[in-house]
Amino acid sequence: MRSDSGHPDNEDHFLLVRSGGHRCAIPVGAAKLVTKAPKVYPLPSSALRLLGLAQVAGEPVAVVDLHAILDPDGCPGGGHELTVIVRTRGGGSAIGLAIDEAFGVISVGRQWQRSTDDPGWVTGRMTMDGRTVVILDPEQLFVPASAD
Amino acid sequence: MQVERRTSILRQWLGMAILTVVILVGGVMLEITSDGDKEEWYIDAWMVLGIAALASHLVLVSLPRVRLERAHRELEQRHARQCTILEESLEEMRHGDLVEFLGRVDQLPEVMSEAVQAAAQAISALVQQIQTSSVEVATSAGTVHATSAELVEGASQQAAAVVEITATTEELARTAGQIATSAGGQAEFVAKAQDAGNKGAISLEGAVQGVGELRHGIEAIADRADILGKRSREIYRVLDLITEIAQETHILALNAAIEASAAGEHGDRFGVVAEEVRRLAERSRESVESVRQLLDGFSESIRSVVVATEEGSKSAVQVLEQSRSTQDAIEQLRSALADTAGAAREISLATDEQRTASNQVVLTLREISEVIQRTADSFQQFTDSAERLSGLALSIQLLTQSFRTDSGHSLKNQVLGWSDRLRDSTANLEVVEGVLAEVVRNFPYIEIAYLVDTSGSMVAFEVNRTVVEDHRLKVTVSPGQAFADRPWFQAVSRDQRTAVTPPYVSLLTDDRCFTIAAAVRNRSGAMIGILGVDVNVRSWTSI
């Protein structure tokens, strides 16, 4: 976790967040806004990972439980203190990722590794301060099922 | 007799008087006569008169005297026979055989016989009456003996009880003295306790006031603690506000960092500032957290203080209530102590009086004990007298039994009757044993009936099984056993008369008994054996 004054090209910038016991890195380019958890209106018959709809800066935003994505077999997360609003590159609708904590923007070299078992929305994994950090790809995270 | 004697005397004096008259008349006539012829005539007349006087003397005096002397001799002979009969009769009476006595006095003159028979019958009746009376005396003596023995025992128990009561009363007096002393000491202790109670009441009053002030202090502390709690809650609200601001600042810093990163090189400086802001927010949040932790400790302390003050207040209230209760209790205790002191003084006085009364009771009981002891001694003397009287009655009965009367109560008469039945049967052992068995069966007070020969050897005997135990019989009596040294045998052999021995202890029963023994004679009157019966005194007197 750093914030250098320089901006070298071989480094990528991520927003380091925590959801449950998982630490994730969201590309800064995809992160639009970090906000306190808005009031979420649950949707009927929605998937477990979709917490509901919320209104952020006058726009409707679908809020997704990041912990449910990272650990679908585990217990659902409960904190959800913050919500990270991400937007796909295509200018699609904004998606809210409910997280527990946001540590800040970090700049890291491209030394992460990707396993073949990782799903498509995982760009890679790296180790930071002895902990594994999962680098997310928001574009892949919200690809419709038919596109797979 | 008196008429004959007077006639004899008159005749003797008549002869002498005629002779005297003849002599005096002849002398006077010779004196006054001077004529010889008349003198001769006078002499012849005097001679005729003399002869007539002699003849009359012979007829009137000498012949009656001879007849009187003959009659006197006959009378003396008859008198001697009567004396002999009387002597023999009295000899029988001397041995107590009134039956034989009455048989002999029949030979006396009718008047004498009737008088003597009447006297003998009176003696017999007297003997029977004495016997009956002695039985009653013996019975009464036995009753008196038993009663007096019970009285002696009762008096002894009474004396023992009185001694025990005396000891108890003495102990009571000592205890009363101890109680009086203790009550006196208790009164002193109570007085001291009253003083202590008064001091305690004063101290407790001060303590109650102190507890009240303490309660007020605790309530003031509780109020201050409540104020502090309110202040700390306000601080919490401020901290929450600071935390919220820090969080908002943190989010703003994050968004600024995101925007700075998105701005590329142009946003680097802004990113640095955003990062510093974020760190500042982070530090603020950490500081707030530290303050919150400190405030939590402070609040916990305040809550503890509040709890402690509440508990202290409650305790103070309880202590105050308890102190007031204690004050009431001390007041009651003081009242009770006053009552106790009064009661102790009364107890002391009462126990003093009780001790005095107990001492008087002890003196009275000692006198009673002495009286009872004297009474017991008197009763003992009474018992001894009754025992002696019983023995005396028994002796009288035995004395009456020394008389043979024509009565069923006369053992001598009974034994002589049985001996008569054996007169011709001493050689027939079956008859002898039958008679002895009948005797024992019909007279349950007889321990044993037996027949010995003239040498004192046991011929036959029959034991009363209801009186004598079997095991004693085997060791003490057996046929052929010599009884010649026994007093009853020697007495009968010597006097040829029925004998009654003094009481002695029976070898068969260990009871007192006496023996009546009578001679068994044949038809010629010769003694051929001795029949004896041992009479058990206890059974005899009870019957």
- The predicted pLDDT at position A15 comes to 92
Q: Do A33 and B265 touch (CB under 8 A)?
A: no
**Closest residue on chain B to A33 (Cα):** B255
User: Which among A50-64, B31-45, B468-482 has the top mean pLDDT?
Assistant: A50-64
Query: B274 contacts in A (CB within 8 Å)?
Result: 3
- Please list, in sequence order, all residues whose beta carbon lies within 8 angstroms of the beta carbon of residue B15, skipping any fewer than 6 positions away: B53, B56, B57, B60, B61
Using the Cβ of A144 and the Cβ atoms of chain B, whether some distance falls under 8 Å is answered with: no
In the predicted model, what is the mean pLDDT of residues B435-453? 90
The continuous run of DSSP H or E covering A31 comes out as strand A31-36
Residue B304: Cβ-neighbour burial (10 angstroms; 0-12, 13-18, 19+): exposed
Residues 273-312 of B with CB under 8 A from A: 274-275, 278
**How far away is chain A from the Cα of B235, in angstroms, using its nearest Cα?**
23
Using the Cβ of B255 and the Cβ atoms of chain A, whether some distance falls under 8 Å is answered with: yes
Strands (DSSP E) contained in B62-169 are: none
Q: Do B271 and A3 touch (CB under 8 A)?
A: yes
- Superfamily of B410-543 according to CATH: PAS domain (3.30.450.20)
Query: A35 contacts in B (CB within 8 Å)?
Result: 251
**How far away is chain A from the Cα of B239, in angstroms, using its nearest Cα?**
18
CB atoms near residue B92 (< 10 Å): 21
DSSP H helices, chain A, are 66-70, 138-141
State whether residue A28 is helix, strand or coil.
coil
Q: Do A82 and B257 touch (CB under 8 A)?
A: no
Rounded-to-integer distance, Cα B372 and Cα B154, Å: 10
Give the strands of the sheet with A122-128, arranged side by side: A101-109, A11-19, A22-27, A131-136, A122-128
Tokens of B337: 């102590």
Rounded-to-integer distance, Cα B367 and Cα A68, Å: 117
In the predicted model, what is the mean pLDDT of residues B415-437? 86
- The predicted pLDDT at position B8 comes to 67
CATH number for region B165-377: 1.10.287
Mutate to test the interface with A, among B243, B245, B258 (most CBs of A within 10 A): B258
Rounded-to-integer distance, Cα B147 and Cα B155, Å: 12
Residues 40-79 of A with CB under 8 A from B: none
Q: Considering only B141-155, B173-187, B323-337, B468-482, which range has the smallest mean pLDDT?
A: B468-482
Instruction: Report whether B448 contacts B468 (CB < 8 A).
Output: yes
Instruction: Report whether A37 contacts A81 (CB < 8 A).
Output: yes
Q: What angle (nearest 5°) sits at the alpha carbon of residue B519, between those of residues B516 and B525? A: 155
CB atoms near residue B278 (< 10 Å): 24
Q: Which of B249, B232, B235 is nearest to B284 (CA)?
A: B249
State whether residue A17 is helix, strand or coil.
strand
Pick the more confident residue, B256 or B409. Answer: B256
Q: Do B255 and A13 touch (CB under 8 A)?
A: no
Half-sphere exposure of A26 (CA within 13 A, CB side): 33
For chain A, give the percent of residues with pLDDT over 70: 82
The continuous run of DSSP H or E covering B103 comes out as helix B98-105
For chain A, give the percent of residues with pLDDT over 90: 24
User: Per residue in B463-481, is it b (16+ CB within 10 Å) or e — as a string?
Assistant: bbeebbeeeeeeeebeeee
Mutate to test the interface with B, among A7, A82, A106 (most CBs of B within 10 A): A7
In the predicted model, what is the mean pLDDT of residues B382-395? 82
Using the Cβ of A116 and the Cβ atoms of chain B, whether some distance falls under 8 Å is answered with: no
pLDDT grade for A4, boundaries at 50, 70 and 90? very low
Mutate to test the interface with A, among B254, B265, B269 (most CBs of A within 10 A): B254
Tokens of A26: 């969201």
Instruction: Report whether A19 contacts A66 (CB < 8 A).
Output: yes
Q: What confidence tens digit (pLDDT) does each residue in B180-223 have?
A: 788 778 778 878 887 887 888 788 888 888 888 888 888 888 88
Q: Which of B543, B495, B497, B538 is nearest to B519 (CA)?
A: B497
Q: Do A105 and B258 touch (CB under 8 A)?
A: yes
**How far away is chain B from the Cα of A52, in angstroms, using its nearest Cα?**
22
Rounded-to-integer distance, Cα B321 and Cα B36, Å: 187
CB atoms near residue A24 (< 10 Å): 22
**How far away is chain A from the Cα of B249, in angstroms, using its nearest Cα?**
11
Using the Cβ of A37 and the Cβ atoms of chain B, whether some distance falls under 8 Å is answered with: no
CB atoms near residue A68 (< 10 Å): 21
Q: Average per-residue pLDDT in chain B?
A: 83
User: Per residue in B491-501, is it b (16+ CB within 10 Å) or e — as a string?
Assistant: bbbeeebbbbb
Mutate to test the interface with B, among A3, A35, A36, A82 (most CBs of B within 10 A): A3
Instruction: Report whether B440 contacts B449 (CB < 8 A).
Output: yes
Q: Domain residue spans in chain B?
A: 2-94, 165-377, 410-543
Query: B289 contacts in A (CB within 8 Å)?
Result: none
- The predicted pLDDT at position A85 comes to 92
**Closest residue on chain B to A12 (Cα):** B261
pLDDT grade for B144, boundaries at 50, 70 and 90? confident
Phi–psi pair at B462, nearest 5 degrees? -140, 125
| pLDDT at residue A147 greater than cutoff 50 | no
Q: Which of B248, B268, B274 sits opposite A7 (nearest CB)?
A: B268
Q: Which of A32, A19, A28 is nearest to A107 (CA)?
A: A28
Q: Which of B510, B163, B182 is nearest to B365 (CA)?
A: B163
Which DSSP state fits B41? Answer: H
Query: A13 contacts in B (CB within 8 Å)?
Result: 261
In the predicted model, what is the mean pLDDT of residues B473-491? 82
Q: What confidence tens digit (pLDDT) does each residue in B97-132 have?
A: 888 888 888 888 888 888 888 888 888 888 888 878
Q: Do A34 and B258 touch (CB under 8 A)?
A: yes
- Please list, in sequence order, all residues whose beta carbon lies within 8 angstroms of the beta carbon of residue B193, skipping any fewer than 6 positions away: B337
**How far away is chain B from the Cα of A13, in angstroms, using its nearest Cα?**
7
Q: Do B272 and A15 touch (CB under 8 A)?
A: no
- The predicted pLDDT at position B2 comes to 63
State whether residue B510 is helix, strand or coil.
coil
- Please list, in sequence order, all residues whose beta carbon lies within 8 angstroms of the beta carbon of residue B345, skipping any fewer than 6 positions away: B183, B187
Rounded-to-integer distance, Cα B362 and Cα B176, Å: 13
Q: What is the CATH number of the domain that holds A103?
A: 2.40.50.180
Separation of CA B274 from chain center = 128
Residue A108 lies in a domain: yes
Query: A56 contacts in B (CB within 8 Å)?
Result: none
Rounded-to-integer distance, Cα A28 and Cα B260, Å: 10
Scanning the structure block, which residue is given the tokens 């309110």?
B230
Q: Do A28 and B265 touch (CB under 8 A)?
A: no
Using the Cβ of B243 and the Cβ atoms of chain A, whether some distance falls under 8 Å is answered with: no
Tally of domains in chain A = 1
Residue A127 lies in a domain: yes
| pLDDT at residue A133 greater than cutoff 90 | yes
Reading phi first (left if > 0) and then psi (alpha if -120 to 50, else beta), residue B525 is in: left
- Domain around A118: 11-140
Query: A3 contacts in B (CB within 8 Å)?
Result: 257, 271-272, 274-275
- The predicted pLDDT at position B216 comes to 85
**Closest residue on chain A to B247 (Cα):** A36
**How far away is chain A from the Cα of B280, in angstroms, using its nearest Cα?**
13
Instruction: Report whether B460 contacts B479 (CB < 8 A).
Output: yes
**How far away is chain A from the Cα of B234, in angstroms, using its nearest Cα?**
24
Using the Cβ of B263 and the Cβ atoms of chain A, whether some distance falls under 8 Å is answered with: no
Q: Do A3 and B262 touch (CB under 8 A)?
A: no
Q: Do B254 and A102 touch (CB under 8 A)?
A: yes
Residue A2 lies in a domain: no
